[in-house]
Every structure is written in structure tokens, then in C-alpha cells.
Structure 1
Amino acid sequence: MRVVIAEDAVLLREGLVRLLTEQGMEVVAAVGGPDELIEATTRLRPDISIVDVRMPP
């Protein structure tokens, strides 16, 4: 499963990448902001996006 992670907290983002990778998922992008999220999902077409709903604009 191809995954994009959007989280502004660096430590949490890195932890999610590690956790999902260890579970056999392919993290195709881990971004820190909404503009990066839009670009990554448009370009990479992941199966799922995990998004911090309280991420600053």
C-alpha cells in the first residue's frame, strides 16, 4: 500500500514513517505542510493519505 503522511511535527512524522515501513507499507512521501501534501498526492497518487487535521495552513 502506497502512503503519504502529512504531519507538521517532525518527530511524529518520522515515527509514523518508521512504524508504517516496519509494517510493510510503502511511504512514498512524508510532508510537513498542506501545499506539499497537495503536490505529493497529485504527483504520487497514493492509496491512502494520513493527514494531521490540525496542521497549520
Structure 2
Amino acid sequence: MKDIHPAIFNRLMHFPPNIRSDLLELLGSAPIDDEHLEKIIEDLSEWIANSETADGKNHHSN
């Protein structure tokens, strides 16, 4: 497994356990550069935010 930049790893660790586990498994089985990993994290973050909004669980709205 390739080393992950600490800032990227920190972002990854803030995901829910099931998503974090799947992403770490992917990283262990496929060579993914930091730029691609950052894009994956960005896309997952957006997907989670949109899911929470759709479920009415967005805690950031007033």
C-alpha cells in the first residue's frame, strides 16, 4: 500500500465507518495517486452531504 499524505488520510478518517472501511480496502488493493484519492474523497463528501439533505438530516441549515 502506498503512503497517503497525512492531510488526505485525516479527511478519509472523518467518513462514516462503512465508507471509510470500503475506501481503505480499495486503497489497499489498487494503486491510487493522491490527486485521484482527493477527487474520490471530494465526490464522496458531496454525495454524503446530498444524501443528508435529501433525508432531511442536514444539520447546517437554519
Query: TM-score, normalised to structure 2's length?
Result: 0.36
- Asked which structure has the greater CA Rg, the reply is 2
| More helix per residue | 2
| More strand per residue | 1
Query: TM-score, normalised to structure 1's length?
Result: 0.38
